[in-house]
């Protein structure tokens, strides 16, 4: 793990975050003290340019922050990870728009990366309408990054031979927030309520597209935003699994089996389960940091990332989420009776299944990754 100050800050916050996990679950939204502490530590801006007080984070730092925060509570990690989208695209915003976006310091950004909105061109910008069913931490945010498609004459407008898909940065006060998350189970503490907008005006300067010229030209900001966000998902899954393995080990270490009375740790199936679980976690973690190192080397060499490297990044995001999900399911199913009650293992299983489900909206990236691996071309516009 990186020894970057942002990673150290994330590790230092773990006790506070853990203290309020249950409170966040009860209110289906992060505890205010956690929301504030993450902001005060600068973790919402870890991917933002230094020109707006951000951390200019490279991939290994992103992994370290997300892994540490998510080990304490993946809901807190999701607040940080979702903020990365707006932070990264802000490098393509002109200075006056960046300044407005970051006028309120240390606030996170709500995000929905699924293109469920439609935008009509208007003088100086767009009229945006749509409904996004899952927007993390929207009630605690000041701005949201919402993805939509620009429409003309009833059809998607073309940009570079593909539909004109944009990230629209919208003040939260202009959204209608729908209380849909109160019955959620997995990732319950994220407060990921639905939002709607009805013909809201968004200035051209807040309608991000990678076709616009970069304003802060450093290698990390030339990457597609999805390449920056994908490792964060894997790191969150890795952090959750690490915490679950530790909690399950503590629960089973001296606990007797119900029928034999023999300590659980002396059962062969339990020993094998823990060996497999730790191996899965170590493999996930090693792969993540290896890909991050390769990305950083490529950016340092010529400032670009090949399609093959992008494919590995996306592929590993889905692989990590899948391995974490199956591993925690085994821990849950074969652990002690404690796993079936509310607690770290049960919560980790809910959360890892939710993380796996949550990236299905961009699953087409996995198909594109396979296409590249087979010598073809990517098909997803965000690749």
Tell me how far apart the alpha carbons of residues 140 and 108 are, in angstroms, rounded to a whole number.
Answer: 8
Low-confidence ranges of the chain (pLDDT < 70): 1-2, 253-264, 335-342
Spatial CA neighbour of 104 closest among 56, 176, 8, 172: 172
Rounded to an integer, what is the distance from CA 383 to the centroid of its chain?
17
What are the C-alpha distances in Å from 366 to residues 81, 111, 167, 230?
20, 21, 21, 11
Alpha carbons 301 and 298: distance in angstroms, whole number:
5
Dist CA 234 CA 288 (whole Å): 7
Q: Is the sign of the CA dihedral 85, 87, 46, 182 positive or negative?
A: negative
Q: Give the pLDDT confidence score for residue 336 in this predicted structure.
A: 54
pLDDT at 94: 96
Listed residue (34, 79, 28) closest to 186, CA to CA: 28
**DSSP track, 50-71:** GGGT-----HHHHHHHHHHHHH
pLDDT for the residue 131: 98
> In the 8-state DSSP scheme, what is residue 256?
B
Q: Mind listing the pLDDT tens digit for each residue in 355-366?
A: 998 888 788 899
Q: In the numeric block, which tokens belong to residue 263?
A: 């300590």
> What DSSP string describes 331-350?
HHHHS-GGGGSSSHHHHHHH
| 3-class DSSP state of 262 | coil
Residue-wise pLDDT tens digits, 240-264: 999 999 988 887 766 665 555 666 6
Q: What pLDDT shows up at residue 266? A: 72
The answer to whether 68 and 43 are in contact (CB under 8 A) is no
Quick one: pLDDT at residue 339?
53
What DSSP string describes 68-123? HHHHH-HHHHHHHHHHHHHHHHGGGS-HHHHHHHTSSTT--EEEEEEEEEEEEEET
Predicted confidence at residue 381, as pLDDT, reads 76
CA distance 315 to 369: 6
Bridge partners of residue 191, in order along the sequence: none
Cβ atoms of 78 and 187 within 8 Å: the answer is yes
* Domains present along the chain, CATH in parentheses: 5-101 (1.10.540.10), 109-208 (2.40.110.10), 223-373 (1.20.140.10)
Residue 248's pLDDT is what?
Answer: 83
Predicted local distance difference test score (pLDDT) of residue 3: 79
Neighbour tally for 56: CB within 10 Å:
18
Spatial distance between the Cα atoms of 346 and 334, rounded to a whole number of angstroms: 12
What sign has the CA pseudo-torsion 358, 12, 297, 222?
Answer: positive
**Phi, psi (deg, nearest 5) at residue 155:** -140, 155
Q: CA dihedral in degrees (355, 77, 210, 307; nearest 10)?
A: -60
């Amino acid at each position: 793990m990186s020894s970057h100050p942002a990673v150290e800050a994330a590790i230092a916050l773990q006790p506070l975050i853990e203290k309020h996990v249950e409170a966040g679950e009860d209110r289906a939204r992060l505890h205010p003290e956690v929301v504030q502490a993450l902001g005060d530590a600068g973790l919402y801006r870890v991917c933002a340019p230094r020109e707006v007080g951000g951390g200019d984070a490279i991939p290994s730092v992103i992994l370290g922050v997300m892994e540490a925060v998510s080990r304490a509570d993946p809901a807190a990690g999701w607040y940080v990870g979702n903020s990365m989208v707006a932070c990264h695209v802000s490098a393509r915003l002109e200075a006056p728009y960046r300044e407005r976006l970051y006028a309120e310091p240390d606030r996170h950004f709500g995000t929905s990366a699924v293109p469920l909105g439609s935008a009509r061109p208007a003088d100086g910008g767009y009229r945006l309408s749509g409904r996004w069913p899952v927007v993390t931490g929207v009630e605690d945010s000041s701005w949201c990054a919402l993805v939509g498609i620009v429409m003309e004459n009833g059809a998607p407008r073309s940009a570079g031979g593909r539909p004109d898909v944009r990230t629209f940065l919208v003040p939260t006060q202009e959204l209608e927030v729908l209380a849909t998350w109160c019955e959620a189970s997995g990732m319950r503490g994220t407060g990921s309520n639905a939002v709607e907008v009805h013909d809201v005006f968004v200035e051209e300067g807040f309608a991000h597209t990678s076709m616009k010229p970069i304003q802060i030209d450093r290698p990390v900001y030339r990457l597609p935003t999805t390449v920056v966000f994908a490792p964060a998902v894997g790191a969150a899954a890795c952090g959750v699994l690490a915490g679950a393995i530790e909690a399950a080990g503590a629960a089973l270490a001296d606990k007797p089996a119900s029928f034999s009375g023999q300590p659980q740790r002396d059962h062969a199936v339990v020993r094998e389960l823990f060996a497999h679980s730790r191996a899965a976690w170590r493999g996930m973690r090693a792969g993540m940091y290896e890909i991050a190192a390769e990305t950083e080397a490529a950016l340092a060499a010529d400032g670009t990332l090949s399609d093959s490297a992008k494919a590995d990044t996306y592929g590993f995001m889905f692989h990590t989420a899948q391995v974490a999900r199956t591993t925690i399911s085994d821990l849950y199913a074969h652990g002690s009776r404690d796993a079936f009650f509310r607690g770290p293992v049960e919560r980790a299983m809910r959360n890892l299944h939710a993380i796996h489900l949550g990236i299905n909206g961009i699953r087409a990236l996995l198909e594109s990754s396979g296409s590249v691996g087979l010598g073809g071309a990517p098909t997803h516009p965000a690749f």
